[in-house]
């Protein structure tokens, strides 16, 4: 029986490979230069259809001793931490400690179509870990005691989590976004372990289908609201609209009570939630839909409007109708907001951080870094890099710049970048989930910050910090409070009235904002 299963498995894989090769060879002859799909006005070719999308999978080989990504001459790169277990995101605490969230997705989702089986097998290859798989689903604390860019202490802060991804910290509370809930833990800066049991702040859509399992977090500048990303439960509603309740959206969750609502919807798979220090606006990067050809649909970064709808599933990049979706919803297509900046098709952006307040050279003074995990469903690889997009007046401007490359050589991937962030010295950190490494990119001149700025804080010289200081009336909240004492963030007012509870988000259909806003609250 065992041998029969082995043969059957081999046969299935062989047939899958033959099918993929055949389809790849028949790929549409029309080509679009990926650079034409970067910016505010991307080139969008006509959609293509096929039994299976073209696929090209990079073999994950990891990093050998002495190997590292490639950076420009004004930067240096080094391994901040190795031997991790699928690091997905990095988060700097106000005291400079760095949290590395390591996670693997939940068990495989139910298979509804034959090609889902093939895709699942292919993705298992694409998401290889560059060597023997360690126990994952934990958060590790990295401490650079002398601020020389090297880790002096390493502690596993939390273990046994359910596919974690996003974290936030304020008021001696650590927030962790697992795949099915936002959890809270009592945590004081400096602690190297957490032994307390978590409390559920709010449940999140989880299984049994959990197509996009990553749940990212960002904290509002006033410290009152957690923004939570919840990706769709399908590529394009093939699991039914009921499976999409509460999904393809960014939630707004009261950090104290857990009251939640849809903040924005129509975002197929948002991640990399970040607050723009210049405007205070929420930004995200989004993985768009597949199976419309190698050059559709461009993934993107965008500011997120409260109550905004961004197209999924009925349209893409504004009002471009996806003809595969029934019933048609021209009313929703009309509402669809065009994203701010396209990143090209299938680059799979999963991380974003703003550069303002870093110690990097002036060329990176005002913009955003984006971690592109890399393509698997086109004949030519795209992504597998970290890009920098310059900003002006709170919006992307100019040409994107490749900053950290070398993750892929030929058909082999050393690693795949995911989350990005700024460490306590002002350098850029990159979570490489396939290479099991966190990389540190610093200025070649050795410049560092005089003191750490936490991920959840606004840089002291930013417009948001200045505005918060001007608007503050309570003496204890004026200016930037000391993060090492009370843990408050810029503009936080703990006396602000609490919102009333709202319905569980899983009871709210996608693309529909809850009725009204509760008077007298920010919720």
* Sheet with 428-432: strands ordered across: 75-81, 437-443, 428-432, 417-422
Distance between CA atoms of 182 and 164, rounded to whole angstroms?
A: 9
Query: Quick one: tokens of 463?
Result: 């417009």
Average pLDDT over residues 105-109: 75
Query: Please, which pLDDT band fits residue 122 given cuts at 50, 70 and 90?
Result: low
Phi first, then psi: give them for residue 71, nearest 5 degrees.
-130, 160
Query: Please, which pLDDT band fits residue 485 given cuts at 50, 70 and 90?
Result: very low
Tokens 């006005």 appear where?
41
Characterise 266 by phi-psi region: left (phi > 0), alpha (psi -120 to 50), beta (else).
left
Higher pLDDT, 109 or 210: 210
Q: Which of 15-24, 105-114, 248-257, 479-488 has the lowest mean pLDDT?
A: 479-488
Distance between CA atoms of 466 and 459, rounded to whole angstroms?
A: 9
- For residue 215, give the nearest of 223, 282, 206 by alpha carbon: 206
Whether the CB-CB separation of 36 and 342 falls below 8 Å is answered with no
Query: Please, which pLDDT band fits residue 107 given cuts at 50, 70 and 90?
Result: confident
Per-residue pLDDT tens over the stretch 169-212: 999 999 999 999 999 999 999 999 999 999 999 999 988 888 99
Give first-to-last CA distance, the chain, whole Å.
59
- For residue 302, give the nearest of 334, 264, 266, 338 by alpha carbon: 338
Average pLDDT over residues 89-109: 92
CB count within 10 Å of CB 36 equals: 16
pTM of the full predicted structure? 0.85
Spell out a b/e string for 172-207, using b for 16 or more CB atoms within 10 Å of the CB, else e: ebbbbbbbbbbbbbebebebeebeeebeebbebbbe
Q: Is the pLDDT of residue 126 over 80?
A: no
Per-residue pLDDT tens over the stretch 384-409: 999 999 999 999 998 999 999 999 99
| Full set of structural domains in the chain with CATH | 56-507 (2.120.10.30)
On the 0-12 / 13-18 / 19+ scale of CB atoms within 10 A, 11 is exposed
Tokens 């609201």 appear where?
225
378-381: list long-range contacts, CB under 8 Å, 24+ apart. 378/53, 378/54, 378/55, 378/56, 378/294, 378/295, 378/345, 378/346, 379/24, 379/27, 379/54, 379/56, 379/294, 380/34, 380/56, 380/294, 381/56, 381/58, 381/408
Average pLDDT over residues 462-468: 88
* Percent over 90 (pLDDT), the chain: 72
Whether the CB-CB separation of 395 and 340 falls below 8 Å is answered with yes
Average pLDDT over residues 461-481: 64
pLDDT of residue 250: 97
Q: Is the pLDDT of residue 24 over 80?
A: no
Q: Is the pLDDT of residue 455 over 60?
A: yes
Query: Please, which pLDDT band fits residue 509 given cuts at 50, 70 and 90?
Result: very low
Q: Is the pLDDT of residue 3 over 50?
A: no
Per-residue pLDDT tens over the stretch 287-297: 999 999 999 99
Q: Is the pLDDT of residue 96 over 60?
A: yes
Whether the CB-CB separation of 45 and 293 falls below 8 Å is answered with yes
Whether the CB-CB separation of 355 and 336 falls below 8 Å is answered with no
In order, the DSSP letters of 421-437 are EE-TTS-EEEEETTTTE
Q: Which of 84-93, 365-374, 420-429, 493-502 has the lowest mean pLDDT?
A: 493-502
Higher pLDDT, 517 or 246: 246
Distance between CA atoms of 291 and 34, rounded to whole angstroms?
A: 17
Alpha carbon 133 to chain centroid, angstroms: 22
Distance between CA atoms of 164 and 204, rounded to whole angstroms?
A: 12
Query: Please, which pLDDT band fits residue 22 given cuts at 50, 70 and 90?
Result: very low
Per-residue pLDDT tens over the stretch 323-374: 999 999 999 999 999 999 999 999 999 999 999 999 999 999 999 999 999 9
- For residue 55, give the nearest of 268, 291, 311 by alpha carbon: 291
Give the chain's length.
Answer: 523
Distance between CA atoms of 184 and 168, rounded to whole angstroms?
A: 10
Q: What rounded mean pLDDT belongs to the chain?
A: 84
Query: Quick one: tokens of 169?
Result: 């910290």
pLDDT of residue 477: 34
Phi first, then psi: give them for residue 151, nearest 5 degrees.
-75, 125
Q: Is the pLDDT of residue 496 over 90?
A: no
């Amino acid at each position: 029986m065992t041998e029969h299963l082995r043969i059957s498995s081999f046969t299935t894989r062989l047939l899958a490979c033959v099918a993929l090769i055949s389809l790849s060879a028949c790929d549409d002859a029309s080509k679009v230069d990926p650079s034409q799909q970067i910016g505010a006005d991307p080139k969008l070719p006509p959609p293509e259809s096929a039994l299976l999308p073209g696929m090209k999978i990079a073999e994950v080989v990891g990093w050998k001793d002495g190997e590292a990504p490639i950076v420009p001459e004004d930067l240096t790169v080094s391994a901040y931490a190795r031997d991790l277990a699928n690091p997905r995101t990095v988060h700097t605490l106000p005291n400079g400690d760095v949290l590395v969230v390591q996670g693997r997705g939940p068990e495989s989702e139910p298979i509804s179509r034959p090609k889902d089986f093939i895709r699942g097998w292919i993705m298992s290859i694409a998401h290889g870990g560059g060597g023997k798989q360690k126990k994952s689903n934990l958060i590790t604390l990295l401490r650079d005691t002398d601020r020389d860019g090297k880790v002096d202490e390493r502690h596993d802060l939390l273990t046994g989590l359910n596919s974690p991804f996003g974290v936030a910290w304020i008021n001696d509370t650590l927030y962790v976004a697992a795949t099915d809930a936002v959890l809270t833990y009592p945590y004081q800066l400096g602690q190297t372990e957490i032994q307390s049991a978590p409390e559920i702040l709010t449940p999140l859509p989880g299984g049994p289908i959990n197509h996009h399992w990553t749940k990212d977090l960002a904290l509002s500048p006033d410290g009152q609201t957690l923004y939570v990303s919840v990706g769709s439960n399908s590529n394009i509603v093939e699991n039914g609209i009921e499976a999409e309740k509460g999904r393809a959206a960014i939630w707004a969750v009261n950090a104290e009570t857990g009251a939640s609502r849809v903040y924005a919807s129509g975002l197929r798979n948002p991640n990399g939630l970040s607050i723009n220090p210049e405007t205070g606006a929420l930004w995200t990067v989004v993985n768009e839909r597949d199976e419309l050809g190698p050059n559709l649909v461009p993934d993107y970064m965008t500011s997120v409007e409260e109550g905004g709808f961004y197209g999924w599933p009925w349209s893409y990049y504004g009002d471009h109708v996806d003809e595969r979706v029934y019933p048609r919803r021209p009313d929703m297509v009309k509402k669809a907001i065009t994203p701010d900046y396209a990143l090209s098709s299938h680059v799979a952006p999963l991380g974003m951080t703003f550069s303002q307040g870093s110690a990097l050279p002036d060329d990176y003074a005002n913009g955003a870094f984006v971690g592109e995990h890399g393509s698997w469903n086109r004949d030519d690889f795209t992504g597998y890099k970290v890009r920098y997009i310059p900003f002006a007046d709170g919006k992307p401007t100019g040409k994107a710049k490749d900053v950290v490359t070398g993750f892929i050589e030929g058909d082999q991937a050393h690693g795949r970048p995911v989350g990005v962030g700024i460490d306590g010295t002002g350098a850029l950190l990159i979570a490489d989930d396939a290479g099991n490494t966190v990389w540190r990119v610093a200025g070649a001149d050795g410049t560092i910050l005089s003191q750490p700025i936490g991920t959840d804080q606004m840089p002291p010289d930013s417009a948001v910090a200045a505005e918060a200081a001007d608007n503050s009336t309570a003496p204890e909240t004026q200016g930037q409070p000391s993060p090492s004492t009370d843990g408050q963030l810029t503009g936080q007012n703990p006396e602000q009235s609490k919102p009333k509870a709202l319905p569980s988000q899983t009871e709210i259909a996608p693309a529909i904002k809850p009725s009204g806003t509760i008077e007298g609250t920010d919720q």
